[in-house]
Chains A and B, each alone.
Chain A
């Protein structure tokens, strides 16, 4: 478990968390914008349900307020590592399906992927700061994309990725605010009981 909370450790933690919160906020707005572009460019109905799409980290969580700091960081890390893979697949799919056309969507996807990678690195930094071991990537990578998935299902999958990512960005900011107050190893302080 982490050493008692030395002032410098707390300071570094608060700095990492505040930078992470800013990054999550930027990511959130970019993903929401990307979502609109994606729906329009893929000819999808904005209200289409993607509940049936699997293999995407779900942001909604039960008893969010009871989570320990470590749980928060680890769950965030697992999710963003998965999103990194999923967004890379979407980018590859975009290039394969559309070639050089629609580079705007491609650039926006690449930008969000970059931010997700940065945020993942950020979470890893937070775990290192608290001397908590980094889980191996293999355990958490999402199931590989089924090559037989039809294009329409891939479009829905992309939509689910972006919808969940936009929710995760909100949850991550709230998680980091919790962690900023306490060392990840301690249980979190009571707060209004509702999930993001």
Chain B
């Protein structure tokens, strides 16, 4: 009678263990004398306790425990000795505690933070975490692995819900298993942490609405759209013009599941939540594509002041306005970045980049991004090989004789670092068109002249001119305006 029994020892941190026992039958008793020795012949340690649990060090191999129960008058009742082997000690990590549960409604993502309590252990260990996320309907179990060091590390983990977080309350709990390979005794999962709740809009008095609100999706996505409504309202939901079967998430929240969403019109796809044919709320989803890789990227300069890059956008993204595709031009050598103002309606896209002093080669990266994705295209350009001068202007004919004329024209741009090749076209009523090529040093916002000889007297001629880079031909400029002139009589 009164013997201590069922001694069990559990460690939470591989250093200390909590031993518990019970005494039958249960009766009012005095203090208990608890003594233990580990096998390295260190002196016995004794102390008195009113509890039936004590915390003592985890032994290297085994511990001998002597428990003496006493009457309330201090006389010994019963003594019992136990031999605790390390294989008898079970290892159950402490219950983890969630530090924070933070929603990002725009991405329907939950961020979970908790401490791994690594400092509790004498050395680094592998830990396995089981995270359970559940709603009123349905649960998701996820396993997360981490390596514990000797310090407390705040672990952070993101989970993206398959539905907007506003739709209904989400609950999270976590538990831990430490893979202490050197520990001989039985190992088990910790208890589950207290549950953390992220309340849904269906718990708020003024939470009614349709979610997600005005979001962007990739074509082909599956999406859950919910309507938070009044208690018990039987609502109908349409996606575009189609009525969808409703899934009840709670008494105030109903949802539809749209699979493989197709591209929406420019004004988006309306999702309407109706009650007795009356639209009570709605949202607009913009279903489009990530930007296509820009095609035929080409860059040139017409005046050595600005480099004009052009490209074809490829497949339209289906997203416009503030959700439209943005372009930026980054030049690797100088590190300069320019954001491009682009008109979505033009078939060809254009972006200007300033010509930089003392830089001949340009390593461009055209960055393309919209809310769904991003891509890029690159181009290495030697500017001197990509000159297409502006159209020659103010073409005039002077010094007119019977067999020759002088032509003068102006080109807007700074070509002082190159030679220009200009082509003069001579045409008239009674003879074939002739081309006269002339090369000259380029100038800075200069006027250029050339003589055209071997003309016929008293003959009407039409002249026009175009120019290009002489050394590295890239493209002709456009033709200048035609200038008409009759040569002098002989």
Q: Which A residues are within 8 Å of any B CB, using their own CB?
A: 41-45, 48-49, 51-52, 95-103, 150-153, 155-156
Q: Which of B16-24, B261-269, B297-305 contacts A (4 or more CB under 8 A)?
A: B261-269
Closest to B283 in A: A152
Can you identify 20 A-B contacts, CB atoms within 8 angstroms?
A41-B265, A41-B266, A42-B267, A43-B267, A49-B279, A97-B268, A97-B320, A99-B320, A99-B344, A100-B320, A100-B344, A101-B321, A102-B320, A150-B210, A152-B214, A152-B270, A152-B281, A152-B282, A153-B281, A156-B279
Q: Is the beta-carbon distance between B344 and A48 smaller than 8 angstroms?
A: no
Closest to A41 in B: B267
Given A99-B324, A150-B213, residue A156 in contact with residue B267 (CB < 8 A):
no
Given A44-B270, A48-B279, residue A150 in contact with residue B209 (CB < 8 A):
yes
Smallest CB separation, B68 vs chain A (Å): 72
Residues from 149 to 186 in B contacting A, C-beta threshold 8 Å: none
Given A43-B268, A48-B272, A48-B279, residue A98 in contact with residue B321 (CB < 8 A):
yes
Distance of A45 Cα from B297 Cα, bound (Å): 43
User: Which residues of A have CB within 8 Å of B270?
Assistant: 42-44, 152, 155
User: Which residues of B have CB within 8 Å of A98?
Assistant: 266-267, 320-321
Q: Binary interface profile of B, 223-243, with partner A (CB < 8 Å = 1, else 0)?
A: 000000000000000001100
Contact of A97 (CB < 8 Å), options: B210, B267, B271, B344 = B267
Q: Which B residues are within 8 Å of any A CB, using their own CB?
A: 209-210, 213-214, 240-241, 264-272, 278-284, 320-322, 324, 343-345
Q: Is the beta-carbon distance between A101 and B322 smaller than 8 angstroms?
A: no
Q: Is the beta-carbon distance between A101 and B278 smaller than 8 angstroms?
A: no
User: Which residues of B have CB within 8 Å of A97?
Assistant: 267-268, 320-322
Closest to B316 in A: A101
Q: Is the beta-carbon distance between A151 and B214 smaller than 8 angstroms?
A: yes
User: Which residues of B have CB within 8 Å of A95?
Assistant: 321
Given contacts A101-B344, A156-B282, 8 further A-B contacts (CB under 8 A): A43-B269, A96-B321, A99-B324, A101-B266, A150-B209, A152-B214, A152-B282, A152-B284
Distance of A102 Cα from B318 Cα, bound (Å): 12
Smallest CB separation, B154 vs chain A (Å): 34
Closest to A47 in B: B277
Q: Is the beta-carbon distance between A43 and B345 smaller than 8 angstroms?
A: no
User: Which residues of A have CB within 8 Å of B344?
Assistant: 99-101
Given A100-B345, A155-B270, residue A150 in contact with residue B214 (CB < 8 A):
yes
Distance of A29 Cα from B195 Cα, bound (Å): 62
Q: Which 7 A-B pairs have the closest CB atoms?
A: A152-B282, A151-B284, A99-B321, A151-B214, A97-B321, A101-B320, A100-B345
Distance of A151 Cα from B284 Cα, bound (Å): 6
Contact of A96 (CB < 8 Å), options: B267, B272, B322 = B322
User: Which residues of A have CB within 8 Å of B213?
Assistant: 150-151
Smallest CB separation, B398 vs chain A (Å): 46
Smallest CB separation, A147 vs chain B (Å): 12
User: Which residues of A have CB within 8 Å of B322?
Assistant: 96-97, 99
User: Which residues of A have CB within 8 Å of B209?
Assistant: 150
Q: Is the beta-carbon distance between A151 and B283 smaller than 8 angstroms?
A: yes
Smallest CB separation, A51 vs chain B (Å): 8
User: Which residues of A have CB within 8 Å of B278?
Assistant: 49, 51
Smallest CB separation, A178 vs chain B (Å): 36
With a 10 A CB-CB cut-off, give which of A52, A95, A99, A100 has the most chain B CB atoms: A99
User: Which residues of B have CB within 8 Å of A101?
Assistant: 266, 320-321, 344-345
Smallest CB separation, A61 vs chain B (Å): 24
Given A41-B265, A45-B272, A49-B278, residue A152 in contact with residue B345 (CB < 8 A):
no
Q: Is the beta-carbon distance between B321 and A153 smaller than 8 angstroms?
A: no
Distance of A28 Cα from B284 Cα, bound (Å): 29
User: Which residues of B have CB within 8 Å of A153?
Assistant: 281-282
Distance of A101 Cα from B278 Cα, bound (Å): 31
User: Which residues of B have CB within 8 Å of A48?
Assistant: 272, 279
Distance of A42 Cα from B265 Cα, bound (Å): 8
User: Which residues of A have CB within 8 Å of B283?
Assistant: 150-152
Distance of A45 Cα from B141 Cα, bound (Å): 42
Q: Is the beta-carbon distance between A100 and B268 smaller than 8 angstroms?
A: no
Distance of A44 Cα from B241 Cα, bound (Å): 9
Closest to B264 in A: A43
User: Which residues of A have CB within 8 Å of B280?
Assistant: 52
Smallest CB separation, B124 vs chain A (Å): 49
Contact of A150 (CB < 8 Å), options: B240, B267, B279, B282 = B282
Distance of A95 Cα from B343 Cα, bound (Å): 12
User: Which residues of B have CB within 8 Å of A156?
Assistant: 279, 282
Smallest CB separation, A151 vs chain B (Å): 4
